[in-house]
Amino acid sequence: MKNQHALTRRRFVGGTALLAGAATVASRLSAQTTAPEPNSYHFNEATQPAWTKAPLAPGEPGKDYKPTVTLNGSTLPFRVVDGVKVFHLTCEEVDHVFVPRTRYNDELRAYCWGFNGQIHGPTIECVEGDRVRIYVTNSLPASTSIHWHGILMPSGMDGVGGLNQAPIPPGQTFKYEYTVWQHGTFMYHSHHDEMTQMALGMLGLFVIHPRKPSKPPPDRDYAFMLSEWKIVPGTRRPDPNEMIEFNVLTFNGRAYPGTAPLLAKLGERVRIRFGNLSAMDHHPIHIHGHAWKIIETDGGPIPEEGQWPEVTVLVPVGATRTVEFVANNPGDWAMHCHMTHHVMNQMGHAFPNIVGIEPGKLDKQVSTFLPGYMTMGQDGMGDMAEMAMQIPPNSVPMVGSPGPHGYITMGGMYTNLKVREELGTLRPEEGEDFAYGGWYENPPGTQAMPATAEDLKRDLGSIPEVKPMGKPMHHMHKG
């Protein structure tokens, strides 16, 4: 009886301690100002990986989440089987169009490796707590495996060929299955012979929406995969051995002028998700006319008090960044990588620097042997695309497209944000290239124009004298 009483007291004391400890933990948790959307990213209360938690009912698009828009791309369809979301990816060769043919440029296309007939693979979307089953069929001539970049799951599902699984041989289908207990923007890609297969296009985005978001979804939710390629002019296959001189830089597998614009109605809240699986380069993505805040990384949401306004977000290789802003400034606004060579198409790198030279009689003398010869580049590259010069088959001009006020001298990783008071019947997912949605007409008094003589005399005191360049800039060509 005595022993029984003592045991009861121990149980009582232990239970009291547990209650006190639980109360302390609860008090600390309630006092924390963590992410606005709690993310079960690491471990649950039993110190087990989050993916061991039981799945919830499959989240439904339009009800449990607002689907993202992958411009110039698509979203992977799914079906529900016994409470599990089932997806199917097919790895295959894709005859991909990087820049479609328009009346301003020829088509640029290449044989790549991708998923489900497209570059990059379709965006996978699900909801925190979903159980997903993804079948991967290999229709390539080589073995492969698929890694789910940034997503927590059992080791045997992580997809590193030779480490977590046997590679998927040609002609076979493998099954991946796990429960997602985190939310944010993630990626998937080949993790077998990565240098070759990723360089040929085996990449895709994987978006997991929060099960219980703390605020309404954004009005616009765009997703972009950033990547880089080496396609020698006149060829039809990207070079996976390239490490430095990439000459086609893309948003969702498209280079400007083949990039569809982002659309937003004045006052809408816009979210943009960036993922970067380029081989070698980080990308500082710059927005004009607005400032955004970085709200998420691939590690989870950023608490609101840890966010600050930026106009450029650096997206490192192998990482994602998610930004938000209010489209409160009507107009046509550039969005582009701020690495200047990343907004050029198929730029030559084996030419001498001739900026500032004076050809003199050189053109006339050389044209005796090469009819039609003309020195180019001494005044920069801005006017070259408008010359409509003959270029190799399956290549595009180094820069841009006609714009509303002249030629836009950018290509590659460039697109436009078009903010309008009304969008009418425009749907961003239907855009094919830069021309979709037309151009903004600036209101009177808000357009840069040539200065009048009256303005110059009033404000500067005189009309500036323009002195043309004289002698060649020999200091740039020492040797």
pLDDT digits (tens, 9 = 90+) for 379-388: 555 555 555 5
List the single range of 234-238, 266-270, 360-364 with lowest mean pLDDT: 360-364
Flag whether pLDDT at 55 surpasses 70.
yes
- Whether 296 and 324 have beta carbons less than 8 Å apart is answered as no
Q: What is the pLDDT of residue 80?
A: 98
Greater model confidence, 438 or 351: 438
**Per-residue tokens: 257:** 């002028």
Q: Which of 163-177, 396-410, 426-440 has the highest mean pLDDT?
A: 163-177
pLDDT reading at 15 higher than 70: no
Alpha-carbon gap, residue 269 to 324, rounded angstroms: 7
Q: Cis link prior to 257 (omega < 30° from 0)?
A: yes
Residue type at position 340: T
**78: confidence class by pLDDT, cuts 50, 70, 90:** very high
Among 207, 237, 244, CA closest to 222: 207
Report the distance separating Cα 71 and Cα 470, nearest Å.
Answer: 47
- 143 touches 161 (CB < 8 A): yes
Cβ atoms of 176 and 157 within 8 Å: the answer is yes
* Mean pLDDT over the full length of the chain: 85
Average pLDDT over residues 285-294: 98
How far is residue 228's CA from residue 247's CA, in Å, rounded to a whole number?
Answer: 7
pLDDT above 90: residue 19: no
Q: Is the CB of residue 399 less than 8 Å from the CB of residue 344?
A: yes
Q: How buried is residue 134: exposed, middle or buried, by Cβ count under 10 Å (0-12/13-18/19+)?
A: buried
Q: What is the pLDDT of residue 401?
A: 83
The reported pLDDT for the residue numbered 376 is 59
Confidence band (pLDDT; 50, 70, 90) for 34?
very low
Residue 46: what pLDDT? 59
pLDDT of residue 357 exceeding 60: yes
What's the rounded mean pLDDT across residues 42-66? 84
d(CA 274, CA 110): 24
Model pLDDT for residues 164-181, shown as the tens digit of each residue: 999 999 999 999 999 999
**Which of 100-114, 269-283, 295-309, 378-392 comes out lowest in average pLDDT?**
378-392
**With bands split at pLDDT 50, 70 and 90, how would you rate the model's confidence at 12?**
very low
One-character DSSP codes across 343-361:
GSSS---SS---TT---TT
Beta strands in 128-216 (DSSP E): 131-138, 146-149, 173-179, 184-190, 203-209
Say how far apart CA 47 and CA 108 lie, in whole Å. 52
Question: How much of the chain is helix, strand and coil, in % rounded to 5?
Answer: 15, 35, 50
Higher-pLDDT residue of 386, 250: 250
Which residues have a Cβ under 8 Å from the Cβ of 384 and sit 6 or more positions away?
376, 377, 397, 398, 399
Residues composing the chain: 479
Q: How far apart are CA 367 and CA 370, in angstroms?
A: 4
Give the pLDDT band (50/70/90) at residue 378. Answer: low
Nearest in space to 160 (alpha carbons), one of 115, 190, 180: 190
Q: Are strands 269-276 and 283-287 parallel, antiparallel or unpaired?
A: unpaired
| Assigned token pair, 475 | 């200091």
What domains are there in the chain, each with its CATH number? Answer: 53-341 (2.60.40.420)
Find the angle CA(409)-CA(414)-CA(417) to the nearest 5 degrees.
110
The pLDDT value recorded for residue 346 is: 76
Evaluate if residue 43 carries a pLDDT over 80.
Answer: no
Predicted confidence at residue 354, as pLDDT, reads: 60
pLDDT of residue 245: 87
299, 319 Cβ separation under 8 angstroms: no
Burial profile 19-40: b = 16 or more Cβ within 10 angstroms, e = fewer: eeeeeeeeeeeeeeeebebbbb
The pLDDT of 366-392, averaged and rounded, is 61
pLDDT at 302 over 70: yes
